[in-house]
Amino acid sequence: MVRTLTGSLAIALLVASPALASGDAAKGKDIFNRCMMCHSDAKGAPNKIGPNLFGVVGRKAGTEPGFNYSAALKGSGITWTEDNLEKWVMGPGKMVPGNRMMFAGLSSQSQAEDVVAYLATLK
């Protein structure tokens, strides 16, 4: 019985680990300042060169009202989970070739995690 319980606990911890490894939202907000030239992050704020990112976590890609997305992004079938957003900010052109975002991507995984942690607070 103890072995079964211990094994179950170990599996639960392994499954939960990604959630525990999230970034630092305060650092992410500072990093996101670089993104503000093209993206807004406030509820109801207008789209800029890029779409408003308020509420982006959980949103289907290419669906922010009033923004003219590329066919590649609209047809990608992506939902912006935290994992997908991390991949995106590390290399938009690699993740969805043919998208219009003119950003090469962050070079640091920890910065990507921090930015996504910040985006996750925008609800």
**Considering the entire predicted model, what is its pTM?**
0.82
CA distance 52 to 48: 7
Angle at 77 between CA 76 and CA 80, to 5 degrees: 100
DSSP 60: B
| Domain regions of the chain by residue span | 23-120
Quick one: 44 exposed, middle or buried, by C-beta within 10 A (0-12, 13-18, 19+)? exposed
Residue 22: predicted pLDDT: 85
Fold of 23-120: Cytochrome Bc1 Complex; Chain D, domain 2 (1.10.760)
Beta bridge pairs of residue 60: 79
Question: Would you give the DSSP letter of residue 62?
Answer: T
Per residue in 7-61, pLDDT (tens digit) is 444 444 344 334 444 899 999 999 999 999 999 999 999 999 999 999 999 999 9
pLDDT above 70 coverage of the chain, percent:
83
In this prediction, residue 12 carries a pLDDT of 41
CB-based contact 91:85 (threshold 8 Å): no
**Cα 112 to the center of its chain, rounded Å:** 8
Q: List the end-to-end C-alpha distance of the chain, in Å, as a whole number.
A: 43
